Amino acid sequence: MSRPLGRLQVALLFLGLACAALPFADLGWGRTDPAAALLRMMGQAVSPNFAAIEAIGSTLASTIAFAVAGVAFGAGAGFLMAPFWARRGVRIASVALRSVHELFWALVLMQVFGIAPLTGVLAIALPYAGIFAKVFAEQIEDGPKGPPRAAPPRSDALSVFLWVRFPLVRADMQSYVLYRMECALRSSAVLGFIGLPTLGFQLDTFFKQGQYAEASAILLIYIALIATLRHWLRWRAALVWLGGALIWLAALKHPPMGSGALWRFLSQDLVPAPLRKGEGLARLADWLGSLLRHEALPGLWSTLVLGQIALALTGLLAIIGFGAIVPRVVGWGRYPGHLLLVTLRSMPEYILGYLFLQLFGHSMLPAILALGLHNGAIIAHLLGREAQSLSSLHRRDAPGGVNLLLYELVPRLFARFVALCLYRWEIILRETAVLGILGVATLGFYIDSAMAELRLDRMAVLLIVTGLMTAGVDALSRHLRRRIDPAGNGPLIAASC
Amino acid sequence: MTLVAFTTEDLAHGSKRVLKRLSLTVSPGERIVLLGRSGVGKSTLLNAIYDRMTASGLRVALVPQDTALVPQLSVLRNALIGRLDDQSWLRNLMAWVRPGRGQRAEVQEILSQLDLAGLIDRPVEVLSGGQKQRAALARAIYRGGTVLLADEPVSAVDETQARRLMGLLHTRFQTSVVALHDVDLARAYGTRLIGLRDGGVLFDAGPEAISDLQIQRLYSDV
């Protein structure tokens, strides 16, 4: 094992890279009057209008239904994969499933099933299955070792799993599934932006019609739903929720899809154009080379540039902001602090990006702000929670305010902070790629354009590039985390979406 | 005939060599008690015996020191774990969903001898330390077998009950190797006492042949 890396070194390296990336980023105001736009929107948003309650209600019901069904099938599939984690094939399948973002899955599935409920459910269930498989496998692996060892030798594996390993980690699995529901509510909301009848769709409609008061109402209810999730979603009622979700989804009207779409998709659309036209391998190499040069590499470059700046912003906001929820630092200020962090955490990056885009117009700025604020709020929340559990905080003579922050909390939590940032790095890049669909020239932009032109062969290649990037960053971040803290910081499950 | 034999072997716990050049045989009908200070290698030796016996196909009932029960499952299901290797996975699956009437009756009979009769459906995690130990004994008795290997199986119950429980184990298992810290109990139960100290065997004889001085030397600081 190589020498542990300094945490400060890593943090400064990432900050330096972000500064170096700044000149390459397009940070201009795409719009000349953001302040006026902000005033106009805020003017209406401060008086939310709940009159459109029917549209709001059915949109939120669909958002919840897609999330529940997606998590149920994803968790089910992941649960079946987890015991076979030792097999290479299962691990590769899990990586492949989870390195493609829900929104990209939805774009692909739409080619096969159209804008149908199945598209939305699978778009959540497929990547989540990969994530569940990995997390469940780790939970089984980290479970107590004694009981499985004490089981009779030569018992079959299924029996040992059901009788010993599974009961030991069942509670952990259940609480992770609940946590994932929160993530799924965000995923489900975002799926609306590509046409499914969830929050994103309704939000876009409200905005296009200038109904900011209605938009503000639906966002408020949505945030309240996520913040109170643990009170209205209980394990005991899981089957009721799933049944309700399936009935609701089955009743959704959707345009019919011609038969044979799946076969056409696999046998024609996905086949690279030169092969489909029978132009030979030389043309295929040209095709691939040009695709990589003109779309994949520029897209990858701007994804990395944008992601790097967003990561630095995330870190800055988190390390400055986490004190805002620690009572000894800000006193009563913690209540507005919590409210702000909850709001920013609940809103998916994509929706924040969409909102900022309306304000600032087209550039990288909305995306960077969205990513920085959302991820910064998540890390700040986790750090703040951990700060409160530090025993030194409860010392009678502990300092307060900024002194406590600078002399106690930041030094104590810095290792955790760096680990969390590295952990979010992969997630930020995934989301950066996806924000391209909003018009920033990251990988998602090229993927979305290829789909709009129905060049699905190109879309497939770009998706593979995106998946490889995600998997690569995941591996690099894990390596760095181990170098910084060889003993490991324990599972970072609470920061995984 | 011996059930297991070690000839001048080193036994390690993890990467640390705990017992050096150990020679030991276990014959049918013996009730061996391992004595010695904590950390001396009793558990390491029990584990080594377990591995070797199960590898040679003997049926062994095991009571580990931390009981190794599944806290979330009931006493009944924990006991049934003792025989997972006797049935096909399908029957195990059926019993997992709902244990059979016969299985339940058999476990109930064992539990009543352990004063746990009323707790058969209680999850193990809500039991007291002594009750957990008895649940672990129930699993071992339900399993049955040629040999019992137990690591401090009655450390959390009172003296009278400990004697009664060891007596019960005596009737259920012909051969056993048990680690104990209570010397009087060891003398009453064992047919052979092995004292471990400083990586080796200090004494290995019948209870009547071991003097109090030897016991004192086993536990003394120098």
| Interchain contact, A156 vs B89, CB within 8 Å | yes
| Interchain contact, B70 vs A154, CB within 8 Å | no
| Interchain contact, B72 vs A159, CB within 8 Å | no
Query: Of the candidates A269, A303, A330, which is a domain's last residue?
Result: A269
pLDDT at A2 over 60: no
Residue B33 host element (H or E): strand B31-35
pLDDT band at A482 (very low <50, low <70, confident <90, very high): confident
pLDDT band at A299 (very low <50, low <70, confident <90, very high): very high
Do A244 and A383 sit in the same domain of this protein?
Answer: no
pLDDT band at A487 (very low <50, low <70, confident <90, very high): low
**Chain A to chain B Cβ contacts (< 8 Å):** 60
Residue A38 lies in a domain: no
Phi, psi dihedrals of residue B203, rounded to the nearest 5° = -145, 160
Do A18 and A59 sit in the same domain of this protein?
Answer: no
A200-204 average pLDDT score: 93
Most confident range (mean pLDDT) of A386-390, A488-492, B96-100 is B96-100
Do A435 and A469 sit in the same domain of this protein?
Answer: yes
Interface test with B, best of A140, A156, A161, A163 (most B CBs within 10 A): A163
Q: Which residues, 6 or more positions from A301, have their beta carbon under 8 angstroms from its beta carbon?
A: A24
- Nearest C-alpha of chain A: how many angstroms from B23? 25
pLDDT band at A412 (very low <50, low <70, confident <90, very high): confident
A225-231 average pLDDT score: 89
Residue bearing the bigger pLDDT, A26 or B200: B200
Q: Which residues, 6 or more positions from B212, have their beta carbon under 8 angstroms from its beta carbon?
A: none
Cross-chain CB nearest to B81 (options A151, A158, A170) = A151
- C-alpha closest to that of B137 among B160, B159, B162: B162
pLDDT at residue A79 in the model: 96
Residues of A in contact with B64 (CB under 8 A): 146, 149-150
pLDDT at residue A254 in the model: 82
Number of domains in chain A: 2
- Nearest C-alpha of chain B: how many angstroms from A142? 15
pLDDT tens-digit map of A83-123: 999 999 999 999 899 888 999 999 999 988 988 999 999 99
Q: Among A224-228, A372-376, A487-491, B8-12, where is mean pLDDT lowest?
A: A487-491
pLDDT averaged over every residue in chain B: 93
pLDDT band at A1 (very low <50, low <70, confident <90, very high): very low
| Interchain contact, A167 vs B89, CB within 8 Å | no
In chain B, what are the domains? 1-59+145-222 (3.40.50.300), 72-142 (no CATH)
Q: Which residues, 6 or more positions from A443, have their beta carbon under 8 angstroms from its beta carbon?
A: A296, A299, A300, A303, A433, A436, A462, A465, A466, A469
Residues of B in contact with A146 (CB under 8 A): 64, 66, 68
The nearest alpha carbon in chain B to A157 belongs to B89
pLDDT at residue B35 in the model: 95
Do A196 and A303 sit in the same domain of this protein?
Answer: no
Structural domain span for residue A425 = 1-30+274-497
pLDDT at A81 over 90: yes
pLDDT at residue A280 in the model: 81
pLDDT tens-digit map of A455-478: 889 999 999 999 999 889 888 988
Do A236 and A278 sit in the same domain of this protein?
Answer: no
Residues of B in contact with A163 (CB under 8 A): 70, 73, 77, 80-81, 84, 92, 96
Do A255 and A313 sit in the same domain of this protein?
Answer: no
> Distance (Å, rounded) from C-alpha A156 to C-alpha A230?
37
Per-residue DSSP letters for A395-407? -TT---HHHHIII
Whole-prediction pTM = 0.85
Do A21 and A120 sit in the same domain of this protein?
Answer: no
The nearest alpha carbon in chain A to B90 belongs to A159
pLDDT at residue A30 in the model: 66
Residues of A with CB under 8 A from a CB of B: 146-147, 149-156, 158-160, 162-164, 167-168, 170-171
Pairing of strands B175-179, B31-35: parallel
Q: Is B132 on the interface with A (CB under 8 A)?
A: no
pLDDT at residue A488 in the model: 55
- Secondary structure class of A486 (helix, strand, coil): coil
Q: Is B52 on the interface with A (CB under 8 A)?
A: no
Query: Of the candidates A206, A234, A269, which is a domain's last residue?
Result: A269
| Interchain contact, B80 vs A155, CB within 8 Å | no
- Secondary structure class of A248 (helix, strand, coil): helix
The nearest alpha carbon in chain A to B145 belongs to A152
Residues in chain B: 222
Quick one: angle between helices A456-484 and A443-452, nearest 10? 160
pLDDT at A489 over 80: no
Residue A250 lies in a domain: yes
Phi, psi dihedrals of residue A148, rounded to the nearest 5° = -60, -35
Q: What whole-number percentage of chain A has pLDDT above 70? A: 95
| Interchain contact, A153 vs B54, CB within 8 Å | yes
Residues of A in contact with B83 (CB under 8 A): 152
Residue B180 near residue B194, CB atoms below 8 Å: no
> Distance (Å, rounded) from C-alpha A118 to C-alpha A345?
28
Domain of A142, CATH number, reads 1.10.3720.10
pLDDT at residue A274 in the model: 86
Residue A42 lies in a domain: no
pLDDT at A317 over 70: yes
pLDDT at residue B147 in the model: 95
Q: Is B94 on the interface with A (CB under 8 A)?
A: no
Residues of A in contact with B97 (CB under 8 A): none
Residue bearing the bigger pLDDT, A317 or A27: A317
- Nearest C-alpha of chain A: how many angstroms from B213? 37
Do A163 and A280 sit in the same domain of this protein?
Answer: no
Residues of B in contact with A159 (CB under 8 A): 84, 89, 92-93, 96
Q: What is the ipTM of this complex?
A: 0.84
Residue A37 lies in a domain: no
Residues in chain A: 497
Cross-chain CB nearest to A168 (options B72, B93, B143) = B72
Interface test with B, best of A155, A168, A172 (most B CBs within 10 A): A155
Residue A63 near residue A192, CB atoms below 8 Å: yes
pLDDT at residue A3 in the model: 60
Do A261 and A281 sit in the same domain of this protein?
Answer: no
Residue A39 lies in a domain: no
CA torsion A254-A256-A260-A262 (nearest 10°) is -10
Joined together, the tokens standing for residue A322 give 């986490």
pLDDT at A247 over 80: yes
pLDDT at residue A37 in the model: 77
| Interchain contact, A167 vs B72, CB within 8 Å | yes
Do A288 and A337 sit in the same domain of this protein?
Answer: yes
A137-162 average pLDDT score: 91
pLDDT at residue A301 in the model: 93
Do A170 and A203 sit in the same domain of this protein?
Answer: yes
Do A204 and A325 sit in the same domain of this protein?
Answer: no
pLDDT band at A259 (very low <50, low <70, confident <90, very high): confident
pLDDT at A341 over 50: yes
Residue bearing the bigger pLDDT, A69 or A38: A69
pLDDT at residue A495 in the model: 64
Query: Of the candidates A269, A289, A323, which is a domain's last residue?
Result: A269
pLDDT at residue A477 in the model: 87
Residues of A in contact with B92 (CB under 8 A): 156, 158-159, 162-163
Residues of B in contact with A154 (CB under 8 A): 85
